[in-house]
Each structure stands twice: as C-alpha cells, then as structure tokens.
Structure 1
Amino acid sequence: MKKWLVVLIIIGAMLYIGNKWIKTTEITIESEKFPKNFDGLKIVQISDLHDATFGENQKKLVNKVKDAKPDIIFITGDLIDSNRYDLENSLDMVKQIVSVAPIYYVTGNHEIATNEVDHIKTALSELGVTVLSNEEQVIEKDGERIHIIGIEDPLNGVSVSDALINFDKTDDFTLVLSHRPETFQDYVVSGLDVVFSGHAHGGQFRIPGLGGLVAPGQGWLPKYTAGVYEEKETKMIVSRGLGNSVIPVRIFNTPEIIVVTLHSLEE
C-alpha cells in the first residue's frame, strides 16, 4: 500500500510540475539580413495562456517575463479559452507587463470562437497593446527597419495564404505573429524571415524521443509542436504554450515562455 502511495505522490508531482511550472526557453537566431542597428533585439513570446493561472495575480508568469528583460513582447493567440471565458484573468497578466516592453498581439481560434473578439481586441488596445489583424507595423532604428506582421486566426474566415497575399514583398527583415504552425508552407512561400506561432500545445503529451502526440489542426503525431523549424530563408518558432483547453493536462510538456534573441551576422 505504501508503494502505491509513493507512486501516486510521484504522479501527482509530475502532473503539477508539468502544468504549473513555467520554463523559459531561450533561442538565438542569427542572420546576415537582420539589420545591425537592431543587433541583440530580445523578444518574449507568450502563447496559448487559455485563461490559466500561474500564482496569485499571475505573479509567476509576470516575474518570468520581467526577468527576461525583453525589448518586445509577442502574444500569439489563445490568450483566453472559449470553454471557460475569463478575460479579466488573462488581462491581469497583460496589465502587469505592458510597461515592461511594447506588446504585439494576434488572435487565436479561441478568441474568435467566443464571438467576443471585438471586445477582446478593444480591451487589449485600451491597455496599450498593439493588436494586429492582418496588419503590419514598421519599427525603425537609425535608418534601418523591421516589419512586424500580424495574421488573424483563419477561423475568422480568411485563410493564412489569402491574408499573406495582401502584404507587399519587402527586402526588410520580417517578424510575423501567426497562431497556426500547420500553415508553415504558406510562410515559406511568402519568404517570411521569422514566424512566431503556437496552437499545438507542444503535442499535449510529449513522448521522449518521438515528440508530441496530438495537436489541433495536425492530428496524431503532429509535425510542428515545439522549437524551431526552418526551410529556405524562413524560420518558424512554435511555442508549447502555457495553458490547456479541451485536454486538461500535459505530460512531459512543461508550459513555457520563449525568449528569442536576434543577432546580425557580419557580411
């Protein structure tokens, strides 16, 4: 009986750590195309919070973001969960980090599924967040520019490929927020430089040596679940995200924020 108790305690501890512990994943990207005046730009990516709570008033999550000392923060969708919609809970986190660095946001499928997407966007905009709905912004530093593009989740009725058609080709470095990793080929065809994505929840249950087990939009044994994927000049960063939705637990799949540092290579 004592052995079973020990086993249950171990399982319980694993489930707690696997769902409430936040890992900071650091990624470095180097490119000859990346402008020298932006060298060392640090971006924190937050994805798929799904109304989850990390500590009282989201303090664990907030402190992780602050500790990273980002220059920019990207939120790549599913800040809320359509099954247990609690916008104020997720806005609590945003209120505490909006002064840390400029925040850019795109929708995920869950925002659109609530039918409250306009209210969500307005609430974020009023806090000072830049909401990108198939839009782009250009940031400039000492004569050099970076384009930040935000792709609305295709649940709104516009596919990723159709949304990307509306953006003019540019020689400037492009950073893209787009919730869906399964449309990787659309990003490659468009010649985008770095895409920040989520949605896959890391495959929910990660099997050592194999990867994620299942992901929305990709089904069983999904291809794009975590880390960096590269084809031609396009790199896609897929966050395992923070919260859960239909499947309430993660296994071997710790919630994460991603910290990306971009460097310019000398030509």
Structure 2
Amino acid sequence: MIKIEKLFKRKGLKKIAFLLILILGIPVFLYQQNNMITTTNIIVESNRLPERFDGYRILHLSDLHSKSFGENQKYLVNKVKKAQPDIIVFTGDLIDSRRYNEEHSIILMEELAKITEVYYVNGNHEARRWNEYPNLEKTLQQMGVKVLRNTHLPINRDGDQIYIIGIDDPNFDYAMNREGKSVRDVLEINRWKIDEAQTNSFKILLSHRPELFSLYVESNIDITFSGHAHGGQIRLPFIGGLFSPGQGFLPKYSSGKYEEKDSTLIVSRGLGNSIFPQRLFNRPEIIVVELKNK
C-alpha cells in the first residue's frame, strides 16, 4: 500500500511539473514568435544584371508598425549590420495607423541611414494617416532616406547602372479623395523614362502590395520587393500563411521568392503586427537578397 501511495504521489508531482512547464513555456514561446528576428537569405539570378552588380546585397525590411526591438532598436539594427548590405529597402507600413507613434519608426530609420543608403516606399497604414504623413516623409528625407513616390532613381556601381522604382500604396489616392494614376500607369511611365535613358536596364521595384505581381510582370520589372502580407500571420506546415490583407485566406503571395516569366517577387513577412497582435510559426524577418549575374 505504501509503495502504491508513493507511486501516485510521484505521478501527481510529474503532472504538476508538466503543467508548470506548460504555463511558463507558452508565454516564452509567444514572446519568441513576436520578437526573435530571423534572417532569410535569397539569391536572385538574371542575365540582364550588369557585371559589376554581381554579388550586390539588398536588405529588405517591411511592416514595422512602430514596433520596438530593444532600446534604440539595437537588436534589429545589429542584425542589419551583421548582414553587411549594399543598400536597404523598406516597403511600407513603417508606422501603424491604429496606434500612431512615430518614435520607434524614426529611430530605426535614423540608425539604418548610418549603415548605408536606405530606399523607402509608403504602405496602406501611411495612407490612412495621410494628414500626418507629410511630416513623416520630411523627417525621413532630412535624415537621408530616399523616399520614392511614383518615381525612380539610378544606382551606380563602378560605372555600371541599374534603376530602382518606388510607387505609392494605391490607398493614397482614396485617402486624399483625388483621382490618381493607376499602378499600371505609374509603372509604365517610369519604365518608359528609364528605357529612354538606358535601353534594357535592370529594374528593381519597391511596392507594398504583393498581390499586384501580375502588373509588375507586365511592366518587365526584374525584381520586386513587397510586404503587406505579414507572412499570413499564422503559418502552418505544408499550408503556409493562413490570411493576408488584400489576398484573404490561404494567400498566394505571403513569404519568400516567387517567379513568373523573367520577373521575381520577394515578399517579406515583416517585423511588427497590426490588427492581430500575435504571430505563430512566423517570426519577424529580415531578408537579404544577393544578386547574381547568370
């Protein structure tokens, strides 16, 4: 009888220990899913890439939503420095429209601008706060960030040249109650201007919306960087992301690299959250793309 009582006591203690581990472990796991940044490395090959851009490293960030990663964004900034990028691109939703606070966003961009050249396009959350956006844009420009609004710039390297295009989120036109050019028109105008200056040039596009990939393919964009999808927020094995804004359930473009014809789309899972506060199997992400000449 004594042995049986001891056995039950041991089993009881084991159950209690298991429950304690579970209770303590869940918050740790959830914190890790929202705050531990992962770095994804992707290679993009093209026979149109100029020779001197072979090995060029582009670091892609998106969808910060005013999130902080340590004091003065130290954890995130150190991750970026470690990647040793040639340029940094940020594809929108730097701030969050629901809890508007520029502080963490400004600190991040200021620190990034000290590392290398930074190119930025707005997202739908900047569009929702279009009254505050001009001040945000002015601050970014003052710290040296290149804000691309339906325009393009050349990138030079040892005599070779490629072009980077940036387009406004479509919501900007709706927010300001004005009739603007469509995404297709903006892309075509910039493509014509670039090809007029340099025929058959390699083109990079920054656009917040991955669901418009077919338009980017039409406009002969070589590589597009997008965000917005948040990786589907919750990711499951063999299924991928569950839901993304603009695409709904089981989104087609939620994370990583997609190819169609001669065009490549890179979708960042982003860094912060907006409506839904928790990521699952979908940690915040830095993407490093290395360009290779075929």
Provide TM-score, normalisation by structure 1: 0.96
- For residues 128-155 of structure 1, give each alpha carbon's deviation from its aligned partner in whole angstroms, at most 9, with x where no partner exists: 0000000000122344210100011110
Q: How does 1:133-212 map to 2 (within 5 A)?
A: 133-157=149-173, 158=180, 159-169=182-192, 170=195, 171-212=200-241
- For residues 17-63 of structure 1, give each alpha carbon's deviation from its aligned partner in whole angstroms, at most 9, with x where no partner exists: 11000001111111111100111111111100001111122100010
Q: How does 1:112-127 map to 2 (within 5 A)?
A: 112-115=127-130, 116-127=132-143
Verify the 8 A CA contact 2:50 2:161 in the aligned structure 1: yes
Shift of 1:86: 1.1
- Tell me the secondary structure at the aligned position of residue 260 of structure 1: strand
Unaligned runs of 5+ in 2: 1-15, 174-179
Query: Which of the pair is proportionally richer in helix?
Result: 2
The aligned residue for residue 66 of structure 1 is: 81
Distance in 2, matches of 1:120 and 1:179, equals 17
- State the one-letter code of the partner of 2:185: D
- For residues 229-267 of structure 1, give each alpha carbon's deviation from its aligned partner in whole angstroms, at most 9, with x where no partner exists: 1000100000000000001110000001111111112xx
State the identity %. 51
Which of 148-157 and 166-175 deviates more? Answer: 166-175
Unaligned runs of 5+ in 1: none
Shift of 1:183: 0.5
Distance in 1, matches of 2:28 and 2:239, equals 23
Alignment equivalent of 2:245, drawn from 192, 209, 216: 216
Distance in 1, matches of 2:21 and 2:34, equals 20
The aligned residue for residue 176 of structure 2 is: none
Rg comparison, structure with higher value? 2
Shift of 1:168: 2.9
Verify the 8 A CA contact 2:209 2:227 in the aligned structure 1: yes
Verify the 8 A CA contact 2:225 2:266 in the aligned structure 1: yes
2:98 corresponds to 1:83: yes
Distance in 2, matches of 1:94 and 1:24, equals 19
Verify the 8 A CA contact 1:111 1:120 in the aligned structure 2: no
Provide TM-score, normalisation by structure 2: 0.87
- Tell me the secondary structure at the aligned position of residue 166 of structure 1: helix
> Cα 1:97–1:168, aligned 2, differ >3 Å: closer, same or farther?
closer
Distance in 2, matches of 1:154 and 1:175, equals 19
Task: Number of aligned residue pairs: give it.
Answer: 265
2:86 corresponds to 1:103: no
Alignment equivalent of 2:42, drawn from 24, 27, 35: 27
Shift of 1:4: 2.8
Distance in 2, matches of 1:9 and 1:192, equals 48
The aligned residue for residue 52 of structure 1 is: 67
Distance in 2, matches of 1:7 and 1:209, equals 26
Distance in 1, matches of 2:142 and 2:153, equals 18
